[in-house]
Structure 1
């Protein structure tokens, strides 16, 4: 299971628990290990009062290692300068947080973790190029809170939303606004700890809190921060003045986020009690001895984008709820009295609720029970699994939770690492002296007794492969994966030709054995099939190509019917969509060499339909860039078919998809992309060739369109480098013309070709 690091905006022991603490506990209950990072001090602190005391407590905790507060949950206070968002303080905070997180992950053995953040400004401190998956949980529109740098938060929120893998929002309005920047933006509203608040009903003998005993009934309860920017304080004053027989009980700190909050008018009302913050564990008792719950919110930019956590807490406690009709609550109007923030409407709703009218207790409890931290977190995790975020963090190994090592094990590994390197160096020398067989027998003996370290097991794989012992090599590879979560050896064999045996038939036998594994991850066995297909084409062996064709077609079919393929966020070769495109590219080569022209055109059409379905923002960005060549090569088959059948609609459809990919990879986001291949130049040459062919469908081929057709055929099977040198260009063009000659049912009128 993946580990989580939560960058919170609240200290763990804050009296008002929010999403952050509850999410940490819910993740731990699902079996994940969680490091909860307390507030990063993003807000400029106030000199006196709570902030001063909080800073003092934080300073004392900064020198401490993470403290465990619950099973699988640790809390760490990062050593950062409060409010350090510019200049040297920003640079210092960036270094302190990044180095601190790296050390804490090492200390807790968080080898592959997912970062879960709540504040857009945390992007100031994060490493943009980190390989760890990141989640942005947007629970409020904090730029609408008082004293917040709204423009700066807006800018960083756009950037953070675009860079993370998934955005979770707590209101539909936040989902709409953030979907502009990230396709994977999902609405999961605020929820409640049902069991905790339901104690108000199932433990009827909860003692009445002392401050509440002297307050007459009916008691109208509000719990939470009392801040003027979201609560309609004038509405409360009007209600209290007009209805002296109702007791308004306000539980929570005053001015927590809005220092300008003025409750003087409320204090003048004899039937209003401001009792201050109360321990979280005591809140069910306050609900048990109250008659109704209030949500007297304003209607403004902040509340339009919020989902009040206390809504389901009230329902879980069995209280009837009267609140302002804000957008996020509209779908729950069947379990609460929701009205405009007007005194008359509120008073009427309160009066009817106190009379027992409205939603029944069973309705309220059923709604609350369906919206708990457990159910929401489980839903979130299922979504992360679906889009591949979990697999990316775990590197595809669901057993990774077993791989957490004790500090003693890690210390031992560190101490023996120089010895392992020396043994590896000696092994290389022995191989060069012709002692490979003896070394293989020695390593196999050590492996059978469980004494061979992982690095040396990887070396054993290459020794076995060179000896042709592919089944034994697969057993070692599967052991490396299952026990140590490592695939480095097989990745070298797949993507580094110099690591493979010299005999191509031996290479094909090796990959066929590896592809049959039911233990290695699917992206590894999948690319074993793809490499087998391409190498069989290189050998021009019809029997091997036929076996490759069946294998690749079966893999492509599985990927096509899997809806998760179209939204995969895994990186590069681990991405399911890219694997599907690689399958299509391999099928193009197989059908082309085998001369199955109908099947070749069918692959081109299927590739076109696939690209028409694709939203490039739905898959991993790096992958969407790196898949360019294979995508365009598959599309080029349909372009050639359009020329052959004189089908302007088909050519227009192909051109649209090529232009969409061309435009996508020319986004400035990819300007510094580290890919070795020049995908932009390849795409530009392909687009240029297709554009040159469009007039030929009506007016016929001239010298220019014949040249474009030749270039398109070359690019369909070769690199753009084949077009740079005149001699290579001539050879490549002749080869492409020869391969595609049987493709044409209506041969192009380029007589020099045929």
Structure 2
């Protein structure tokens, strides 16, 4: 039966950092599918530091619509912000959450005149709630997308993820390192790397004044400022470029990371709209991936990597297994690695000295060949063949 719709159980909210789930959801909607994007229903119980996120959910679900600011909604895409009880392994909470979610799914199917046999269930969550929804309808296909090992965040997830890995028609892996980790106990594993958003290059966006006034060189990190961030490496880099600017742009998880107070370390909020990043990336000199060298971060394919490359930025990164693997696959030298904070700072200096323009030649060809538009087509072919 023809694929006409998709229900996406996301691990983030729509107005959070732009990630592959946003690109895929947008691409599916632009391809003509009716898409229901269900915002994060949690993989762990809340902590005190989650209060701001909880308040934002209440505001989104009750007070104002999701598209009143932040990312615009494409046609064919609907956001659902469930007032889910934040205890994903409590039976009573799961039953309540399922009643809410199931009611919204039924409404979506009725409004869009869809049969479950025409709808893809696409999940980033391997929780009891996700599994219950998967088993409740005869979906045309079930796809599980693994962008990191969720058991590193919540070990209780393990038995539920094991079931999903065998139930899903296809399990996608954002990195080759994750694929290797999961391959032996996954029914149908597929490496599916992120695409490149070359539309950012064409955006007519000015550089924000708070960025334009910062001294160069500008070494930029875009992403969540949380447990992944290698603070010691950031500190060493700031000391290595005292007259430059080390910029961290993204939401801060204050309970997970403490940033040093340094004169050339600048903490800036993420732009309200994804397209506005073009004005920041265009005036940066280096893209940073300062991840802690641990199992959790080391297996990831950072989404900001492709954004850096589209704008021709050399990348200074922690020497993780996945990034070192990627460096071997690219046709030119574009990664500069550090295994210690000192080496990370030295890599930053080396990247600045090389002054590479990666927007030309082989890298431009690569980013054009693997645009998100093409990746969405590849995704649809995978779903239709499985």
Paired residues of 2:172 and 2:191 also in contact (CA < 8 A): yes
Paired residues of 2:248 and 2:267 also in contact (CA < 8 A): yes
Task: Mark the runs of 5 or more structure 1 residues left unpaired by the alignment.
Answer: 388-754
Alpha-carbon distance in 1 for matches of 2:105, 2:289: 39
Please name the residue that 2:222 is paired with: 223
Aligned to 1:149, which of 145, 149, 154?
A: 154
Alpha-carbon distance in 2 for matches of 1:80, 1:128: 19
Query: Residues 62 and 116 (structure 1 numbering): CA distance in 2 closer, same or farther, change over 3 Å?
Result: farther
Q: 122-131 or 83-92, which moves further after superposition? A: 122-131
Please name the residue that 1:247 is paired with: 245
Paired residues of 2:233 and 2:345 also in contact (CA < 8 A): no
Computed over aligned residues only, the root mean square deviation of the Cα atoms, in angstroms, reads: 2.5
Task: Mark the runs of 5 or more structure 2 residues left unpaired by the alignment.
Answer: 67-71
Alpha-carbon distance in 1 for matches of 2:111, 2:63: 17
Please name the residue that 1:159 is paired with: 163
Aligned to 2:15, which of 13, 24, 40?
A: 13
Aligned to 2:284, which of 290, 296, 307?
A: 290
Alpha-carbon distance in 2 for matches of 1:189, 1:259: 31
For each residue in 1:233-255, what CA deviation from the matched residue of structure 2 results, as whole angstroms up to 9, or x when unmatched?
11110121233123101111111
Q: SS of the residue aligned with 2:145?
A: strand
Query: Residues 345 and 291 (structure 1 numbering): CA distance in 2 closer, same or farther, change over 3 Å?
Result: same
Deviation at 1:320, TM superposition (A): 1.8
Please name the residue that 1:134 is paired with: 142
Paired residues of 2:168 and 2:187 also in contact (CA < 8 A): no
Query: Residues 230 and 157 (structure 1 numbering): CA distance in 2 closer, same or farther, change over 3 Å?
Result: same
Deviation at 1:26, TM superposition (A): 0.9
Paired residues of 1:134 and 1:165 also in contact (CA < 8 A): yes
Q: Which structure: greater helix fraction?
A: 1
Deviation at 1:129, TM superposition (A): 5.3
Alpha-carbon distance in 2 for matches of 1:323, 1:172: 18
**Residue 315 (structure 1) aligned with residue 309 (structure 2):** yes
For each residue in 1:574-599, what CA deviation from the matched residue of structure 2 results, as whole angstroms up to 9, or x when unmatched?
xxxxxxxxxxxxxxxxxxxxxxxxxx
Deviation at 1:154, TM superposition (A): 1.6
**Residue 106 (structure 1) aligned with residue 104 (structure 2):** no
Alpha-carbon distance in 2 for matches of 1:55, 1:307: 27
Please name the residue that 2:41 is paired with: 40
**Residue 259 (structure 1) aligned with residue 255 (structure 2):** yes
Aligned to 1:123, which of 130, 147, 155?
A: 130
Query: Residues 233 and 110 (structure 1 numbering): CA distance in 2 closer, same or farther, change over 3 Å?
Result: same
Alpha-carbon distance in 1 for matches of 2:65, 2:175: 38
Query: Residues 386 and 45 (structure 1 numbering): CA distance in 2 closer, same or farther, change over 3 Å?
Result: same
For each residue in 1:111-154, what CA deviation from the matched residue of structure 2 results, as whole angstroms up to 9, or x when unmatched?
2211000011143542525321211011111222xxx321x112
Paired residues of 1:335 and 1:359 also in contact (CA < 8 A): no
Q: SS of the residue aligned with 2:354?
A: coil
Alpha-carbon distance in 2 for matches of 1:128, 1:119: 14
For 1:42-441, what aligned pairs fall within 5 Å after superposition?
A: 42-47=43-48, 49-60=51-62, 69-111=73-115, 112-121=118-127, 122-128=129-135, 130-132=137-139, 133-144=141-152, 148-150=153-155, 152-196=156-200, 198-199=201-202, 206-227=205-226, 229-255=227-253, 259-263=255-259, 265=260, 268-279=261-272, 280-329=274-323, 330-333=325-328, 334-357=332-355, 360-362=358-360, 363-387=362-386
Taking structure 1 as the reference length, the TM-score comes to 0.46
Query: Residues 194 and 372 (structure 1 numbering): CA distance in 2 closer, same or farther, change over 3 Å?
Result: same
Matched residue count: 368
Alpha-carbon distance in 1 for matches of 2:195, 2:333: 15
Paired residues of 1:296 and 1:341 also in contact (CA < 8 A): no
Q: Higher relative contact order by CA 8 Å / sep ≥ 6: 1 or 2?
A: 2
Deviation at 1:13, TM superposition (A): 2.4
Deviation at 1:63, TM superposition (A): 11
Deviation at 1:97, TM superposition (A): 1.8
Please name the residue that 2:69 is paired with: none
Alpha-carbon distance in 2 for matches of 1:61, 1:24: 24
Deviation at 1:27, TM superposition (A): 1.1
Query: Residues 285 and 123 (structure 1 numbering): CA distance in 2 closer, same or farther, change over 3 Å?
Result: same
Alpha-carbon distance in 1 for matches of 2:65, 2:341: 52
Q: Which structure: greater strand fraction?
A: 2
Deviation at 1:171, TM superposition (A): 0.9
For each residue in 1:595-650, what CA deviation from the matched residue of structure 2 results, as whole angstroms up to 9, or x when unmatched?
xxxxxxxxxxxxxxxxxxxxxxxxxxxxxxxxxxxxxxxxxxxxxxxxxxxxxxxx
Alpha-carbon distance in 1 for matches of 2:86, 2:144: 22
Please name the residue that 1:28 is paired with: 29
Paired residues of 2:98 and 2:133 also in contact (CA < 8 A): yes
Q: SS of the residue aligned with 1:109?
A: coil
Paired residues of 1:235 and 1:341 also in contact (CA < 8 A): no
Q: SS of the residue aligned with 1:134?
A: strand
Alpha-carbon distance in 1 for matches of 2:122, 2:285: 38
Q: SS of the residue aligned with 1:40?
A: coil
For each residue in 1:42-87, what CA deviation from the matched residue of structure 2 results, as whole angstroms up to 9, or x when unmatched?
44334574124223224417999xxx93222122223432224313
Deviation at 1:368, TM superposition (A): 2.6
